[in-house]
Amino acid sequence: MKVLVAVKRVIDYNVKIRVKSDKSGVETANAKMSMNPFDEIGIEEGVRLREAGTAEELIALSVGVQQCQETIRTALAMGADRGILIVTEAELEPLAIAKLMAAVVEKEKPDLVILGKQAIDDDCNQTGQMLAALLGWSQGTFASSVTLNGERAEVVREVDGGLETIDIAMPAVVTTDLRLNTPRYASLPNIMKAKKKPIDTFTPDDLGVDVSPRLTTIDVIEPEGRQAGVIVEDVDQLVDKLRNEAKVI
């Protein structure tokens, strides 16, 4: 079995986000970048499948600028066997990513594709579902447990009402939730070994995919600061404020 895992380069979750002065987007210059946390979970799940003997090869795929190689190297240090980088400077939307991934799937013929359920920069939560639709594959989203049984997979999903267990046919697309696993830290020896692992590089044109954006960002604005609270003297004053100012009762 071959497993393909998508990894995205995002601003590190510990960094305080700043909006550009012209409101065209988020400031990324000199910001610390790292792998999307949900994608780390995806890599960890792929490594566990290979360690269990279920998977024979684990491939890490990233799309974006040349610096995305660093994200792939992190995945290789965690245990991926090789990487694929699709280099583009274009502003990428979920549908473009899904089309690029579909082209790679047609080329590599994996049995399982794993993605994070969402990226912490745009929170779109769309790429996995779009990819499954383009491929005509089964999908198990928000997975907190994945068990492969030959040509079938049992996926436990995190839903609003609790947990939902589904049985799907392989090949499949799975998106990871936080409770699926705890990603390992890359050891120094593995970081050194990762430098020698191969990374194949393509462009969208090589794959025959048009990544032109379909949406235009008009403004990016920081949320308003939270206003200071008010101390009320009694219950009557609280009820009055809730009724006349907050309009909640």
Closest to 113 in 3D by CA, of 40, 38, 4, 1? 4
pTM: 0.84
**According to the model, what pLDDT value does residue 215 have?**
85
What does the pLDDT look like over 30-57, one tens digit per residue? Answer: 889 899 999 999 999 999 999 999 999 9
Peptide bond connecting 171 to the previous residue in cis, omega within 30 degrees of 0? yes
Alpha carbon of residue 207 to chain centroid? 21
What does the pLDDT look like over 12-33, one tens digit per residue? Answer: 988 888 888 888 788 888 889 8
Mean pLDDT in the chain? 92
Joined tokens for residue 199: 């990374």
What does the pLDDT look like over 175-217, one tens digit per residue? Answer: 999 999 999 998 999 999 999 999 999 999 999 999 988 888 8
Could you tell me the domains of the chain?
2-220 (3.40.50.620)
